[in-house]
């Protein structure tokens, strides 16, 4: 296992080890969206929490690719011009 794979486990993303093509995506996403928390959701899942003005949105997926794809969709919806973020 590479040092980067060990970091994925340490930061709660053990499910990402089987997806080396996805390893850089969490860092890029966190840079763009530091408010979103990504981690181990238990039961071999990955989970993200997006803070909202009236609570939070929680997304759970089995693969890092699926989780990040969904996060990209949701955060794009929130930043669309003319969209009321409330």
**For residue 42, what pLDDT is reported?**
86
Q: What digits encode the pLDDT tens for the residues 45-82?
A: 889 999 999 999 999 999 889 999 999 999 888 766 55
Q: What digits encode the pLDDT tens for the residues 22-31?
A: 778 888 898 9
Domain-embedded: residue 86 = no
Q: Cβ of 83: how many Cβ atoms within 10 Å?
A: 10
- The Cα–Cα gap between 24 and 12 comes to 15
Domain-embedded: residue 48 = yes
Domain-embedded: residue 34 = yes
Domain-embedded: residue 25 = yes
Domain-embedded: residue 85 = no
- Tokens representing 38 are 């990504």
Q: Which residues 6+ apart lie within 8 Å of 36 measured at CB?
A: 29, 30, 48, 49, 50, 51, 71, 75
- Tokens representing 57 are 């949105």
pTM for this prediction? 0.69
Q: Is the pLDDT of residue 36 over 80?
A: yes
Domain-embedded: residue 84 = no
């Amino acid at each position: 296992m590479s040092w980067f794979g060990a970091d994925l486990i340490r930061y709660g993303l053990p499910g990402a080890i089987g997806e080396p093509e996805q390893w850089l995506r969490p860092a890029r996403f966190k840079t763009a969206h530091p408010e979103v928390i990504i981690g181990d959701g238990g039961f071999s899942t990955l989970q993200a929490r997006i803070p909202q003005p009236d609570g939070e949105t929680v997304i759970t997926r089995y693969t890092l690719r699926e989780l990040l794809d969904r996060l990209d969709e949701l955060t794009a919806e929130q930043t669309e011009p003319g969209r009321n973020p409330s």
